[in-house]
């Protein structure tokens, strides 16, 4: 109750954060990657042939030869034990969005009662965790609860330090007995493969005889909040649901704008240095850090890496942040909207494709030929985003991100592309097609004209666009701060595979027909921008006119998760993912089911918490206050004074509203359990969550937030927004 809140405030004031500094032996350059079983380590520790075989496997994404696996496992075990590891863990990424680990000891008992440190190739390559506690959307037969984890050779193993013992961590895929994906990594690897294959076809058309493998790159920008842990622990809603279910807006909010890029508080800086040291050791290239828009909000952006590695690193980053924040007496909040009325948190996914040989294929060249290639890859993005906007939307759909998307701070739920003035102008010229040899008509001629200078890092970037070209990449801004980047990356890779396939097929046919290549490219670009130009929008995504305009253009506005989820099971989506072997129909349906389940689950937890906190903390505190007021009114009256009945009414009215709202919420929660085992139970429960629980919670909160402004401060049980956001 209130005692806890007041104690929290005293504890926060008395708190002394741990000191942090890099010692001389620990300069960032020296510790970078020190806990990673990297290719450099492998080269040192593996026989030459084994090393070569592993590197080839990584390059081609093939299966690891069992003999090679044994040699790698043995070297890996020795290395890890030298680093103090006693256990190893297969790390996987189930569809809860969290990271899961199954730990085993290196020690294996042998016949004579002693134990031997063993780590065989097959233990490295495959594990068998119990899959029954992870969502599977109907993929797992009840009699076969096992799931399989398999080492993703392209993602290096690492040692995770812990005061209670270090662990060798092996990034793995997680599949059912029948090989169907139960995780985020499996489809990421599959989609990566598909995208690369078709990108290489395009490169060959542009004269790259033997292009190196094309991969997708991802640079995730992570926003998060830090709150003092004393406050966090006094907020059961934050603790159990990641967001505050109550809380009046602070009198001083982000309208003051002094936080953004302001000086980082000393305590937070200590936390950042500490996290960076850990990230460096794990080979995670942490780069920029700064305050974000809201008070208590910050951002970290590691350097971009191969999509698959970036995704693993991103998960590891989140776990590391959580752990280190605790060490500094703070809690790190990744929820998309921990505080209502305060800026939310996103995770911008910066996407490009390319390879070491050619760099990013989304960078304009300095001659007409390279420009044509650049424009083709851009056109592929435009076509993909237009054709599959619904899939991009659903890739970021969650109950938690619903609080953020479409609010006036995050990109709208309508998917569109921002190209910037110069590039938009180029495509406008192309739309005028057909090619003429003169620029008089303002038409760009492929193979002849060069591009205007495109700003590489335009300062006036449109922050309201969900999908923006930013000079050498596209930035997808709709993903939520809590999500794994895998979901969006799988979608981007797959829709890009389809677009690149389409373009390659068209151009290959033209070339076979003897059409001049530049002419064919020109015609194709004109066709694509004509058919798909509606997705390009350079205006203000927050403007009221945009949804109206978007509707005219035929762009979907899928406001909430439940509007978006059916996109997963449309004919066109099922066909797309099957064609590029990313998901079969069963896997797609399972993801749809899991999406519904997770949605209902999240809101169900919040609703129960709202009921509990409302009934056991806020109502009692309000009643105490009401009693005090009533006693006061009585006393004043008895003394012959002018009793203020209005003051009593002021508190009694919202109390009555709170009681009514709590009763209604309880009814809605009771109704939830009443479903029979009808066909679409998951859908029914999700709809119930949206239509009954959410509004009932809102009503409870509305009454409670009014009471927060009335009830005596020393009676109020929950740390306030003011306290949580401004005391760090
Ligand atoms: P901003 O906040 O201005 O968008 P940041 O520097 O915070 O920029 O983040 C940019 C992110 O984009 C970083 O993670 C960076 O590594 C990444 N990035 C830069 N170039 C590329 C690229 N070619 N492909 C993918 N990501 C990139
Ligand atoms: Mg950005």
The atom number, within ligand 1, closest to the CA of 360 reads 23
CATH code: domain of residue 635: 1.20.120.1560
Instruction: Assess whether 497 and 636 both reside in one domain.
Output: no
Query: How far from 399 is each of 61, 195, 461, 547, 694, CA to CA, in Å?
Result: 35, 30, 29, 22, 10
Report whether pLDDT(28) > 60. yes
* Candidate of 215, 221, 351, 381 to mutate for ligand 1, largest count of ligand atoms within 8 Å of Cβ: 221
Do residues 92 and 149 touch, judged by C-beta distance below 8 A? Answer: yes
The atom number, within ligand 1, closest to the CA of 457 reads 3
* Residues with CB in 5 Å of ion ligand 2: 221, 348
Instruction: Assess whether 200 and 162 both reside in one domain.
Output: no
* Candidate of 350, 458, 459, 485 to mutate for ligand 1, largest count of ligand atoms within 8 Å of Cβ: 350
- Considering 583, 609, 639, which residue would you say is the last residue of a domain? 583
Ligand nearest to the CA of 474: 1
Whether 462 is in the pocket of ligand 1, judged by its Cβ within 6 Å, is no
Look up residue 223 and give its two tokens. Answer: 């926003």
Look up residue 640 and give its two tokens. Answer: 């012959």
Q: How far is CA 524 from the centre of its chain?
A: 34
Has residue 644 been placed in a domain?
Answer: yes
Do residues 369 and 202 touch, judged by C-beta distance below 8 A? Answer: no
Average pLDDT over residues 166-170: 95
Has residue 490 been placed in a domain?
Answer: yes
Whether 476 is in the pocket of ligand 1, judged by its Cβ within 6 Å, is no
Whether 481 is in the pocket of ligand 1, judged by its Cβ within 6 Å, is no
Instruction: Assess whether 604 and 693 both reside in one domain.
Output: yes
Whether 355 is in the pocket of ligand 1, judged by its Cβ within 6 Å, is no
Q: 80 pLDDT band (50/70/90 cuts)? A: very high
The mean pLDDT value of the chain amounts to: 89
* Candidate of 215, 224, 304, 471 to mutate for ligand 1, largest count of ligand atoms within 8 Å of Cβ: 304
Pairwise CA distance, residues 686 & 672, whole Å? 10
Instruction: Assess whether 301 and 372 both reside in one domain.
Output: yes
Instruction: Assess whether 130 and 213 both reside in one domain.
Output: no
Pairwise CA distance, residues 575 & 565, whole Å? 16
Counting the structural domains of the chain, the total is 3
pLDDT of residue 178: 82
Ligand nearest to the CA of 289: 1
User: Could you give the 3-state DSSP secondary structure of residue 216?
Assistant: strand
Has residue 589 been placed in a domain?
Answer: no
Ligand 1 centroid to Cα of residue 457, in Å, is: 10
The atom number, within ligand 1, closest to the CA of 220 reads 14
Has residue 27 been placed in a domain?
Answer: no
Pairwise CA distance, residues 170 & 166, whole Å? 13
User: Could you give the 3-state DSSP secondary structure of residue 493?
Assistant: helix
Instruction: Assess whether 171 and 212 both reside in one domain.
Output: no
Query: How far from 657 is each of 237, 269, 703, 720, CA to CA, in Å?
Result: 21, 44, 6, 21
Four-residue CA torsion sign, 82, 88, 94, 97: negative
Ligand 1 centroid to Cα of residue 665, in Å, is: 44
Report whether pLDDT(293) > 70. no
User: Could you give the 3-state DSSP secondary structure of residue 516?
Assistant: coil
- Considering 531, 557, 583, which residue would you say is the last residue of a domain? 583
DSSP of 539-588: S-TTSTHHHHHHHHTT--B--SHHHHGGGGGSHHHHHHHHHTTS--HHHH
Do residues 657 and 614 touch, judged by C-beta distance below 8 A? Answer: no
User: Could you give the 3-state DSSP secondary structure of residue 622?
Assistant: helix
Do residues 158 and 282 touch, judged by C-beta distance below 8 A? Answer: yes
Look up residue 247 and give its two tokens. Answer: 């809380």
Ligand 2 centroid to Cα of residue 345, in Å, is: 12
Of 191, 182, 172, 189, nearest to 94 (Cα)? 182
Ligand 2 centroid to Cα of residue 485, in Å, is: 14
Instruction: Assess whether 335 and 451 both reside in one domain.
Output: yes
Instruction: Assess whether 618 and 677 both reside in one domain.
Output: yes
- What is the pTM (predicted TM-score) of this model? 0.93
Whether 472 is in the pocket of ligand 1, judged by its Cβ within 6 Å, is yes
Q: Which of 53-62, 179-188, 212-221 has the lowest mean pLDDT?
A: 53-62
Ligand 1 centroid to Cα of residue 272, in Å, is: 19
Report whether pLDDT(321) > 90. yes
Average pLDDT over residues 379-392: 98
- Decide: residue 308, CB within 10 A, 0-12 exposed, 13-18 middle, 19+ buried: buried
Has residue 24 been placed in a domain?
Answer: no
Average pLDDT over residues 557-579: 97
CB atoms near residue 363 (< 10 Å):
17
In the chain, the N- to C-terminal Cα span, in Å, equals: 22
Report whether pLDDT(254) > 50. no
Has residue 361 been placed in a domain?
Answer: yes
User: Where do the DSSP E strands lie in 100-139?
Assistant: 100-105, 107-109, 115-117, 126-127
Range of the domain at 68: 32-183
Four-residue CA torsion sign, 635, 637, 641, 642: positive
Ligand nearest to the CA of 479: 2
Q: Which of 47-51, 58-62, 138-142, 306-310 has the lowest mean pLDDT?
A: 138-142
Ligand nearest to the CA of 292: 1
- Considering 159, 183, 207, which residue would you say is the last residue of a domain? 183
Q: What is the pLDDT of residues 598-612, one digit of tens each?
A: 999 999 999 999 999
Whether 98 is in the pocket of ligand 1, judged by its Cβ within 6 Å, is no
Has residue 592 been placed in a domain?
Answer: no
Has residue 7 been placed in a domain?
Answer: no
Instruction: Assess whether 149 and 288 both reside in one domain.
Output: no
Do residues 390 and 466 touch, judged by C-beta distance below 8 A? Answer: no
Whether 474 is in the pocket of ligand 1, judged by its Cβ within 6 Å, is no
Q: What is the pLDDT of residues 2-27, one digit of tens each?
A: 778 888 888 887 888 777 766 655 67
- Decide: residue 163, CB within 10 A, 0-12 exposed, 13-18 middle, 19+ buried: exposed
Instruction: Assess whether 514 and 607 both reside in one domain.
Output: no
Do residues 503 and 202 touch, judged by C-beta distance below 8 A? Answer: yes
DSSP percent split of the chain into helix, strand, coil, nearest 5? 50, 15, 35
CATH code: domain of residue 127: 3.10.20.70
pLDDT of residue 434: 63
Pairwise CA distance, residues 727 & 199, whole Å? 50
Instruction: Assess whether 510 and 533 both reside in one domain.
Output: yes
Helix axis angle for 368-387 and 421-432, nearest 10°, is: 90
Report whether pLDDT(259) > 50. no
Query: How far from 650 is each of 298, 617, 636, 717, CA to CA, in Å?
Result: 39, 19, 17, 19
Report whether pLDDT(677) > 80. no
Do residues 228 and 15 touch, judged by C-beta distance below 8 A? Answer: yes
pLDDT of residue 61: 67
Q: Which of 470-474, 531-535, 643-647, 649-653 has the lowest mean pLDDT?
A: 643-647
Quick one: what percent of the chain has pLDDT higher than 70? 91
Q: What is the pLDDT of residues 610-628, one digit of tens each?
A: 999 999 999 999 999 999 9
**Minimal-distance CA residue to ligand 1 atom 11:** 219
Q: How far is CA 181 from the centre of its chain?
A: 19
Instruction: Assess whether 351 and 297 both reside in one domain.
Output: yes
CATH code: domain of residue 454: 3.30.590.10
Average pLDDT over residues 30-52: 94
Whether 352 is in the pocket of ligand 1, judged by its Cβ within 6 Å, is yes
pLDDT of residue 400: 97
**Minimal-distance CA residue to ligand 1 atom 5:** 301
């Amino acid at each position: 109750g209130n005692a806890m809140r007041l104690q929290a405030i005293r504890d926060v004031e008395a708190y002394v954060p741990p000191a942090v500094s890099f010692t001389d032996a620990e300069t960032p350059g020296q510790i970078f990657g020190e806990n990673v079983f990297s290719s450099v380590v492998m080269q040192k520790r593996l026989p030459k042939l084994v090393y070569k075989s592993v590197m080839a496997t990584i390059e081609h994404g093939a299966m690891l030869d069992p003999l090679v696996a044994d040699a790698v496992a043995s070297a890996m075990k020795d290395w890890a034990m030298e680093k103090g590891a006693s256990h190893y863990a297969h790390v996987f990424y189930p569809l809860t969005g969290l990271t899961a680990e199954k730990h085993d000891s290196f020690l294996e008992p042998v016949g004579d009662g002693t134990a031997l440190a063993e780590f065989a190739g097959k233990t490295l390559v495959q594990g068998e965790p119990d899959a029954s506690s992870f969502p599977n959307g109907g993929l797992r037969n009840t009699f076969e609860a096992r799931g399989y984890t398999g080492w993703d050779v392209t993602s290096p193993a690492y040692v995770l330090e812990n005061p209670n013992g270090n662990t060798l961590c092996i990034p793995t895929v997680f599949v059912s007995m029948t090989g169907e994906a139960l995780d985020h990594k499996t489809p990421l690897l599959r989609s990566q493969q598909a995208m690369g294959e078709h990108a290489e076809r395009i490169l060959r058309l542009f004269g790259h005889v033997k292009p190196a493998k094309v991969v997708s790159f991802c640079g995730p920008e992570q926003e998060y909040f830090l709150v003092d842990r004393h406050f966090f622990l006094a907020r059961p809603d934050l603790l159990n649901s990641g967001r505050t279910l109550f809380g009046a807006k602070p009198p001083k909010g982000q309208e003051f704008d002094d936080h953004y890029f302001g000086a980082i508080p000393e305590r937070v800086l200590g936390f950042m240095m500490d996290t960076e040291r850990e990230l460096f050791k794990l080979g995670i290239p942490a780069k920029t850090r700064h305050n974000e828009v809201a008070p208590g909000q910050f951002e970290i952006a590691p350097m971009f890496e191969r999509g698959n590695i970036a995704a693993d690193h991103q998960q590891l980053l989140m776990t590391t942040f959580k752990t280190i924040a605790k060490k500094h007496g703070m809690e790190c909040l990744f929820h998309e909207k921990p505080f209502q009325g305060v800026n939310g948190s996103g995770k911008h996914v910066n996407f490009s494709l390319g390879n070491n040989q050619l760099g990013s294929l989304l960078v304009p060249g300095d001659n007409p030929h390279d420009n044509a290639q650049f424009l083709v890859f851009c056109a592929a993005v435009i076509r993909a985003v237009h054709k599959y906007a619904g899939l991009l939307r659903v890739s970021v759909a969650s109950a938690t991100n619903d609080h953020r998307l479409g609010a006036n701070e995050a990109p709208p739920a309508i998917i569109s592309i921002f190209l910037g003035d110069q590039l938009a102008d180029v495509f406008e010229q192309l739309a005028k097609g057909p090619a003429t040899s003169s620029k008089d008509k303002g038409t760009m001629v492929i193979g002849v004209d060069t591009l205007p200078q495109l700003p590489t890092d335009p300062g006036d970037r449109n922050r309201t666009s969900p999908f923006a070209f930013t000079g050498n990449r596209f930035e997808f801004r709709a993903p939520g701060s809590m999500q794994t980047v895998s979901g969006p990356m799988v979608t981007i890779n797959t829709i890009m595979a389809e677009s690149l396939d389409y373009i390659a097929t068209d151009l290959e046919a033209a070339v076979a027909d003897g059409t001049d290549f530049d002419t064919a490219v020109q015609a194709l670009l004109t066709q694509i921008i004509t058919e798909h130009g509606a997705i390009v929008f350079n205006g203000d995504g927050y403007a009221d006119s945009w949804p109206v305009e978007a509707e005219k253009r035929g762009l979907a506005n899928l406001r909430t998760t439940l509007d978006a989820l059916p996109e997963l099971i449309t004919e066109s989506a099922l066909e797309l993912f099957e064609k590029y072997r990313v998901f079969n129909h069963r896997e797609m349906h399972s993801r749809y089911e899991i999406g519904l389940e997770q949605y209902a689950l999240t809101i169900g937890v919040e609703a129960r918490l709202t009921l509990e906190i409302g009934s056991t903390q806020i109502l009692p505190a309000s009643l105490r206050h009401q009693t005090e007021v009533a006693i006061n009114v009585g006393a004043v009256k008895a003394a012959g004074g002018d009793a203020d009945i209005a003051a009593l009414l002021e508190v009694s009215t919202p109390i009555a509203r709170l009681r009514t709202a709590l009763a209604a919420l309880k009814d809605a929660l009771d109704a939830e359990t009443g479903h029979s085992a009808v066909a679409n139970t998951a859908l029914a429960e999700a709809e119930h969550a949206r239509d009954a629980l959410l509004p009932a919670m809102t009503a409870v909160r509305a009454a409670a937030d009014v009471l927060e402004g009335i009830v005596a401060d020393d009676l109020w049980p929950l740390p306030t927004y003011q306290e949580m956001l401004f005391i760090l």
